[in-house]
Amino acid sequence: MPTPSEQMQVLEMISQGKITASQGEELLKALAASLPKPKPQPLRVDLGGVAAAGYSPGEGASLAAELRKLGIERIKLSELQELRLHDVNAGFVREIAALGYDDVDLDELVNLRMQNITPEYIRELRAAGLDAVNFDELIEYSHHGVTPEFFRAIRDAGLKDLDVDEMVGCFEHGVTPEFIRAMRDAGIKDLDVDELVECSDHGVTPDFIRAMRAAGIKDLDVDELVECSDHGVTPAFIRAMRDAGIKDLDVDELVECSDHNVTPEFIRAMRDAGIKDLDVDELVECSDHNVTPGFIRAMRAAGIKDLDVDDLIECSDHNVTPEYVHDIFTVGLPGLDTDLLVQLADHDVTLEALRAARLAFPDLDVEELVDLVTEGLDLEDLEDLKATGLPAKGETHIHLHQEKS
């Protein structure tokens, strides 16, 4: 820190306008940086404290000597007790330093013991091909159970130069040397660690790949294989779809069928109900809109025949059920097309209103009658309309509220 005299000189220069306040601040910083820093006084290990921590005098002296070699001379009694608790002795410190870790601190020494990282473990990892590695990486390997044998076997299987995250990822996700070799034997080669982990996590095993090939699905990349496995596109599903008559499907179509419950059983039942030669999009649309074989058969039984997929979907979406169609026809309105049925259903026209309108105006054709009842006709006003007559075409209808029974 600048002396009081130096500080006063700077303040005077600022007050006289010779320098600005910011320049004065920079000058004070420069003066402070130029001052020599006091050297810390070395503190030696208190042998009395060593004994209090539980070490014998000989052990304490040896430990103190080894710690001084690492530049550690200031030790609290609590730190000595922590070292003693975790069996950090002179021999352990000496071996760790001999392995090249000559800048280790007390916390790291304790942590090595807590994670069961021995000098032997470090030497075996190096013998297996692991070169210089810091303490955090050593702890990561040990914590996740990566043994020198696993490390060596992964390298022998062809995966070299893996970092600690990749090696741990292999160990935790079942990417074993056996898995890697079996994937190669199944024709899946040159995969990186991320791809192998993804395969293992998503059930893309060598057996799955071979079975997919036997089912006719070949040359798929990892993403496609994972998508198949995740969406239930199994070899058995593919064969069953072919047996149901759906051939030459690509992966996206197979996944779409599986996701939308377009199963081989659904396809066969749709054909039995008379809906044939549908493509994947039409089958998916039917499944999504509840156009089931049962719905189709019931609509036919109610008198609605020869509807295409769009008509059936429109009926299903607008609650034109087989029961509704049957009831409408009992009123004496046969031959209604899909648009008129939807119009009636969308306006919540009751059978009573429809029957009353038919009795009141028997000469109206079906379309005119539907237009009349969807204008908001109230049952009690039918007689008034009958007495006064309907407005001529093109004139505004009387809008009345219809009461639902």
How do residues 128-156 score in pLDDT, each as one tens digit? 888 767 888 889 999 999 999 999 999 99
Identify whether the C-beta of residue 259 lies closer than 8 Å to the C-beta of residue 231.
yes
Identify whether the C-beta of residue 166 lies closer than 8 Å to the C-beta of residue 193.
yes
CA distance 260 to 266: 11
In the predicted structure, residue 380 carries a pLDDT above the cut 80: no
Work out the average pLDDT over 310-337: 88
Position 368 scores a pLDDT of: 84
In the predicted structure, residue 304 carries a pLDDT above the cut 60: yes
Summarised one tens digit per residue, pLDDT across range 8-50 is 776 777 777 777 877 777 766 776 766 665 544 444 445 455 5
| Residue 380 DSSP symbol | G
What is the phi/psi pair of residue 144, to 5°?
A: -95, 5
Three-state secondary-structure class, residue 164: helix
Summarised one tens digit per residue, pLDDT across range 161-208 is 888 999 999 999 999 999 999 999 998 888 899 999 999 999 999 999
Token pair in block for residue 108 = 């790291």
Count of Cβ atoms closer than 10 Å to residue 401 Cβ? 8
CA distance 135 to 105: 11
Whole-number Cα distances in Å, 42 to 45, 62, 75, 93, 310: 10, 19, 11, 21, 90
pTM of the model: 0.67
Identify whether the C-beta of residue 369 lies closer than 8 Å to the C-beta of residue 344.
no
